[in-house]
Structure 1
Amino acid sequence: MKILYHHRVASKDGQYVHIEEINKGLLKAGHEIVLVAPSMGEEQEFGGDGGLVSKLKKALPQALYEMVEFAYSFWAFLKLAVAIIKHRPDIIYERYNLFNPAGVWAKKWFGIPLLLEINAPLLEERNKYDGIALFKLARWTEHYTWRNADWVLPVTDVLASYQRDIGIPESRIRVIPNGINWADFTDPSIKNPLERDVSDFTVVGFVGFCREWHGLDKILSLMTEPGNEKLFFLLVGDGPAVPGIKAQAESLGLTDRIHITGLVKRDAMPGWLLPMDIALQPAVVAYASPLKMLEYMATGKAIVAPRQANIEELLTDGENALMFDTDDQQTFIDACNRLVKDDELRARLSAAARDTVLNRDLTWDNNCRIIIDLAERSLKGTR
């Protein structure tokens, strides 16, 4: 099958991981990809913020920037049209973005089925964190794009409820959670990059961009409690909370039992997961499918995660993870402490987390098989 893959992501971050893995999976399965996307995303190192796009967002008044976003859709439609005329793809696969109905226009103009991957309700998300100046236009583009796709592919059932709320029938919704590239994270040749020998320690690990509300300072306090002298904290990433964590570690005399990597390249991540025994998934937005949680699961970590509906789509308290209440930080610490003290529980949850990935085939390859099945059904006019 020939697939026109369209996205508007200019940064090279977690979003780009999803894009890259889906493309790799489709290519590996023998399909052809025609990519229509900003070239600047391809040219950056992992962690890049989008360059010119990021600068424009900071420099322009909000309403003007949003008009530029919408105007880009006309340019994107022209690029899509050229690609369709030249390559004659079977379907369009698009990663949804706000102010971007270009994929729907191309679907309607050329009569090609559109599969729309949805990772967030961007109208709500952007309005909450940044505000939206052109709210009516933003709402129209979101609803128009969702309603006119042949299939909408939200990453969680919680996110699917947003599509149901605007009248999209269940027959056009397919939840596809994020996945894992199994070989990348389970290759026996992967080396542990941590220079210090922590084989005698229980290693609590966190991956990501850490903020104060993640509560990682509580882990350092836990390390000072009697009986926890063999607890080691590994923070893989960076973020605004790092200076405070470093200062706290120094004041508590824990600098020799903590390691902070800073930003690491994507291909180094499997190695950094190796030394972890317990992996932390602090609270996330209510509709997300966290990539790092799948990575924790595939590599057999004992996971501490929030009791949220989207997380409970993959994890069950006491079966393949321990869960905590997001409004009670003490339950977070209690779950961590319980895993530190109970080797048998830790081993059981670790094995169950890994088995969940295998039993449910939570892989990018399986996601690609689902996408192709939906594409074929669209081409045949079946549901």
Structure 2
Amino acid sequence: MSRPIRVLLMVENVALARDHRLRKHAAALVAAGRSVTVVCRRDPGNRDVPGVRVFDYPPPRDGTSKLGFVREYLYSLLMAAVLTVRAMLAGGVDVVQISSTPDLAFVLAVPLRLLGRTVVFDFKDLSPEMYAARYGTREGLMYALLQRFEHASLRTADHVVAVNASVREVAMRRGGVPAAGITVVGNGPPLAALAARAPDPALRRGREHLCVLAGMMGPQDSIHLAVEAVARVVRERGRTDTAFTFIGAGDAVPELRRLAGRLGLDPWVSFPGWVEQERLFDHLATADLGLEPNLEDFVTPVKALEYMAFGLPFVAFDVAETRLVAEGAAELAPPGDVPAFAALIDGLLADPARRAALGATGRRVVAESLAWEHQARRYLTVFDRIPRVSRAGRRAEARA
């Protein structure tokens, strides 16, 4: 009997415990009989995926300046290289999946391909666009380097897994990857998340309604626009019957807390930080409305997918991928129009029938097409097409 394909999932500067897409990839591969190793940043929850061997490294100091981010990612790349060698010596590797961002792991992919390993690139974020959103410029050496790194990562890979159709188009246009070399694998929630869950009234903090925003909060995520919209809902529209909870972590959280304070929102807005998945699901099952202020056309609105899985209607800006995902599950404001965003929040809180209709549509769309179980089948086809033994492995077995 031939041995299972040995897959190494490499992700820079993030922990397996914090990367839900990576956790789903690892679990799907294990369930399909693959041998799975993950190289990632250290976190106590990294061992929570059964059957996965984890090699992790101590987290670097978080970078806040451009130079700080360079140091942070170079450290992560070095540690990933060391642990990849360790994984190869401690059981072997046939296929390596590297993930964006940042797009630096191609430095490791080149020698791995020369050694006969197959390289898969999980293309889920666009580094140049994220840099532009964070720093407000598309000029300078760093932006140019990110473009080169992205191109190198795409060209080095044997196959590209794209998180959505917009990212797939970028891989073809900017990376010259043929359509046959790309598989679109979405990032929908597992169907298990659809299980009925009782709301927790305490999460409303004594108010009639609860609005939730859940996800990463970096400067590029435009969370400040949601906070400004909440200020308009409370101050201009007089809606003081609603609690707003911003769940998640990221570089922008300290400034978001200060912004809420300056706007006088402390009685209504809370930032509990990162919470365990079960507690997040409690919030989603209790909330009346979700918020998604993303302004980037290429970004898959993971927040929105989780809202929809729980039948939770949401308000978002009308950008490409959000519009495709929402499919009648949300009210969309013109991009960046904070007063319109606030008006939609206020209008939906006043209209329970409309909320119920939007929520039911979202739940149905997730169950029928967007849930991870549907996406996992596409993901596994990538590995089904890979020979059960790598090129290097076949040569070694032939010599034996």
How high is the TM-score relative to the length of structure 1? 0.79
- 1:245 CA drift (Å): 2.2
Residue 38 (structure 2) pairs with residue 35 (structure 1): yes
Inter-partner Cα distance in structure 1 for 2:75 and 2:143: 13
- 1:292 CA drift (Å): 1.6
In structure 1, give the amino acid aligned to 2:169.
Answer: S
- 1:359 CA drift (Å): 0.9
Quick check: 1:11–1:51 contact (8 Å CA) kept in 2?
no
**Stretch of structure 1 that moved more, 180-189 or 128-137:** 128-137
Q: Deviations over 1:225-282 (max 9, x none)?
A: 67846444333345422233245346xxx83xx2514213232211122221111111
In structure 2, give the amino acid aligned to 1:121.
Answer: L
1:155 to 156, 163, 169: 163
Distance 1:282 1:116, change over 3 A: same
Partner of 1:335: 344
Residue 14 (structure 2) pairs with residue 7 (structure 1): no
Residue 232 (structure 2) pairs with residue 217 (structure 1): no
Inter-partner Cα distance in structure 2 for 1:347 and 1:330: 24
- 1:4 CA drift (Å): 2.1
Inter-partner Cα distance in structure 2 for 1:185 and 1:230: 28
Quick check: 2:209–2:349 contact (8 Å CA) kept in 1?
yes
Quick check: 1:90–1:112 contact (8 Å CA) kept in 2?
yes
SS of corresponding position for 1:87: coil
Residue 358 (structure 2) pairs with residue 349 (structure 1): yes
Distance 1:103 1:375, change over 3 A: farther
Inter-partner Cα distance in structure 2 for 1:142 and 1:215: 30
Query: Which sections of structure 1, spanning at least 5 residues, go unmatched?
Result: none
Alignment of 1:1-383 (within 5 A): 1-12=4-15, 16-38=19-41, 40-41=42-43, 53-54=60-61, 57=63, 65=71, 68=74, 72=78, 76-77=80-81, 79-84=83-88, 86-96=90-100, 97-126=102-131, 129=134, 133=141, 138-165=146-173, 166-184=175-193, 186=195, 188=197, 191=200, 194=203, 196-198=205-207, 201-208=208-215, 209=217, 213-224=224-235, 228=239, 230-237=241-248, 238-249=253-264, 255=267, 258-267=268-277, 268-316=279-327, 319-363=328-372, 365-379=373-387
Distance 1:207 1:5, change over 3 A: same
Quick check: 2:191–2:367 contact (8 Å CA) kept in 1?
no
- 1:287 CA drift (Å): 1.7
Inter-partner Cα distance in structure 2 for 1:304 and 1:30: 40
Inter-partner Cα distance in structure 1 for 2:275 and 2:168: 32
Query: Which sections of structure 2, spanning at least 5 residues, go unmatched?
Result: 48-56, 389-400
- 1:189 CA drift (Å): 6.3
Inter-partner Cα distance in structure 1 for 2:238 and 2:66: 55
Aligned-residue identity in percent: 17
Distance 1:122 1:288, change over 3 A: same
Inter-partner Cα distance in structure 2 for 1:189 and 1:3: 41
Inter-partner Cα distance in structure 1 for 2:300 and 2:153: 21
Distance 1:327 1:360, change over 3 A: same
Inter-partner Cα distance in structure 1 for 2:65 and 2:329: 46
Q: Deviations over 1:36-70 (max 9, x none)?
A: 334x356799xxxx975335x56995797499469
- 1:180 CA drift (Å): 0.9
SS of corresponding position for 1:379: coil
Q: Deviations over 1:328-372 (max 9, x none)?
A: 223212322331232221110010011110010422x43332221
- 1:118 CA drift (Å): 1.1
Distance 1:33 1:12, change over 3 A: closer
Quick check: 1:4–1:36 contact (8 Å CA) kept in 2?
no
Inter-partner Cα distance in structure 2 for 1:135 and 1:226: 41
In structure 2, give the amino acid aligned to 1:373.
Answer: T
- 1:120 CA drift (Å): 1.3
SS of corresponding position for 2:362: helix
- 1:6 CA drift (Å): 3.0
In structure 1, give the amino acid aligned to 2:21.
Answer: H
Inter-partner Cα distance in structure 1 for 2:143 and 2:213: 36
In structure 1, give the amino acid aligned to 2:114.
Answer: W
- 1:305 CA drift (Å): 1.2
Inter-partner Cα distance in structure 2 for 1:13 and 1:37: 6
RMSD between aligned residues: 3.7
Quick check: 1:5–1:36 contact (8 Å CA) kept in 2?
yes
Distance 1:348 1:262, change over 3 A: same
**Stretch of structure 1 that moved more, 161-170 or 80-89:** 80-89
